[in-house]
């Protein structure tokens, strides 16, 4: 994928600015499980996903994780370049959920473009606003939605991502996504199984009644 495809402002850049972006972009191939970005002290740069899937999460002092958002093909992540964003303290970790191909733009290069170009600055603001909207949505889910609904919605989302009713994920991993304890996930999954909504086997969840799971997520 050409790097210009990530930027709606590409044609508004000068040829020199386009060349600066192209020359500075570094391609990275990362394996599933690789930590791509590890907190605000690690100023990686602007992260562009050519292909694959990544997970951005925060970690509590007790070691509990919760997924903030995920990155898919053609997605852009600004928080991996937090050192160039003034007054923004958002300490998260980004990990590859699948083998992924990435472009990384060094923070100093993109900072220069932000200072020189209004379209670039507007693009950055739009990306950040979109991510914060996702964070606010997540907070609302945690505060106002019961765990059975959140779990049902997560299983449906995961099924849609994988395009399959078979979800290969441990209870521990689901707990990490949803910011809760493994025991809580196991207890609710067993309830779903007793209701014949899904079946459980080691490391695998099979959705049996998608309609009921959807009704549970929306009720």
Q: How far apart are CA 67 and CA 138, in angstroms?
A: 9
Q: Can you give the pLDDT at residue 86?
A: 63
Q: Can you give the pLDDT at residue 64?
A: 87
The tokens 């930590």 sit on which residue? 35
The answer to whether the beta carbons of residues 203 and 168 sit under 8 Å apart is yes
Q: Can you give the pLDDT at residue 132?
A: 87
Question: Who's near 51: CB < 8 A, 6+ residues apart?
Answer: 1, 73, 100, 101
pLDDT digits (tens, 9 = 90+) for 178-211: 999 999 999 999 999 999 999 999 999 999 999 9
Question: Who's near 138: CB < 8 A, 6+ residues apart?
Answer: 66, 68
Q: Can you give the pLDDT at residue 175?
A: 96
Q: Which domains does the chain have, with CATH numbers?
A: 3-143 (2.60.120.10), 146-218 (1.10.10.10)
Please say whether the dihedral angle defined by the alpha carbons of residues 167, 62, 89 and 93, taken in this order, is positive or negative: negative
- Report the predicted TM-score, pTM, of the whole model to 2 decimal places: 0.86
Q: Can you give the pLDDT at residue 135?
A: 87
pLDDT digits (tens, 9 = 90+) for 91-108: 789 999 999 999 999 989
Q: Can you give the pLDDT at residue 60?
A: 83
Beta bridge partners of 86: none
The tokens 């160039």 sit on which residue? 84
HEC secondary structure over 48-115: EEEECCEEEEEECCCCCEEEEEEECCCCEECHHHHHHCCCCCCCCEEEECCCEEEEEECHHHHHHHHH
Over the chain (219 residues), the average pLDDT of each successive run of 10 is 89 95 94 89 86 93 89 90 67 93 93 92 90 89 92 96 95 95 96 96 95 90
Q: How many CB atoms lie under 10 A from the CB of residue 73?
A: 12
């Amino acid at each position: 994928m050409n790097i210009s495809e990530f930027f709606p402002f590409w044609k508004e850049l000068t040829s020199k600015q386009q060349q600066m972006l192209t020359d500075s972009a570094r391609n990275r191939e990362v394996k599933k499980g690789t930590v791509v970005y590890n907190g605000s002290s690690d100023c990686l740069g602007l992260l562009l996903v050519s292909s694959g899937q990544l997970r951005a999460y925060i970690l509590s002092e007790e070691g509990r994780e919760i997924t903030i958002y995920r990155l898919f093909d053609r997605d852009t992540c600004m928080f991996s370049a937090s050192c160039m964003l003034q007054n923004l303290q958002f300490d998260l970790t980004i990990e590859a959920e699948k083998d992924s191909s990435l472009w990384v733009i060094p923070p100093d290069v993109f900072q220069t473009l932000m200072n020189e170009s209004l379209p670039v600055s507007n693009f950055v603001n739009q990306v950040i606003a979109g991510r914060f909207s996702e964070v606010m949505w997540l907070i609302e889910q945690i505060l106002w939605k019961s765990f059975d609904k959140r779990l049902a919605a997560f299983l449906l989302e995961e099924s849609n991502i994988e395009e399959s009713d078979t979800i290969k994920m441990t209870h521990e991993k689901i707990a990490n996504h949803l910011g809760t304890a493994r025991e809580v996930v196991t207890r609710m999954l067993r309830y779903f199984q007793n209701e014949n909504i899904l079946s459980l086997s080691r490391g695998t969840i099979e959705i049996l009644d998608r309609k009921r799971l959807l009704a549970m997520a929306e009720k």
